[in-house]
Amino acid sequence: MSKDTYTHKLLPGSPGSPLLFVFHGTGGDENQLVSLGRELVPSASIVSPRGDVSEQGAARFFRRTGEGVYDMEDLARATAKMAAFTKAHVEAAKPSTVLGLGYSNGANILASVAFAEPGLFDATVLMHPLIPFEPQVKGSLAGRSVLITAGRRDPICPPNLTSRLEAFLRADGAAVTVEWHDGGHEVRPNEIEAARQLFAGLPVEGA
């Protein structure tokens, strides 16, 4: 396992602090969510990888053949690669808690890694995820906290698929919260506040 399989940004936090991974949306990069991560968990060490797939110049974490139509073979590749990258950073940092936050395409890769490695993240925030397939969770998400945020008029992530993802995660034991707003694919203040509350409510060793 290597900590450098992705181009990434690493912001050190307090010793023994949480480790927060942030995953950008399509067309973003490793800088997109770092300041949000610092705002949400001020003491955390933050790791922000850049997607290794280019879609007409826009960085993504895995390929797709159309809007909402994923290249499942490439998603499997990306999931295994990201899981190994994440584990390498966790092993090196030995953090009190492992957190994940992703937006759009970043939420999708984060969710896919959580399905494959359900014991890896203590809590995840999935902002506007689109999971058009039935997740196959390799284990149990019992004891894991998941926040899903979504727009009721999101043209990219239909509300019915958000609700279906919620049901899948609940069925596998996760403690799931869903935060809606009445808009589209944009991130609104109530989503950020819900993420802050989720992370703030987690026990932190040594606190």
* Greatest CA separation for the chain: 47
Q: 21 Cβ partners below 8 Å, 6+ apart?
A: 46, 47, 48, 49, 86, 89, 98, 99, 100, 101, 110, 121
Catalytic residue flag (residue 172): no
Catalytic residue flag (residue 24): no
Q: In what order do the strands lie in the sheet with 175-181?
A: 8-11, 45-49, 19-23, 98-103, 123-127, 145-151, 175-181
Distance CA 24, CA 17 (A): 22
Pull the structure tokens for residue 154: 């999101």
Catalytic residue flag (residue 4): no
Q: Which of 104, 112, 122, 172 is catalytic?
A: 104
Distance CA 75, CA 53 (A): 11
Distance CA 93, CA 45 (A): 9
Q: Which of 17, 128, 154, 172 is catalytic?
A: 154
Q: Which residues are catalytic?
A: 104, 154, 185
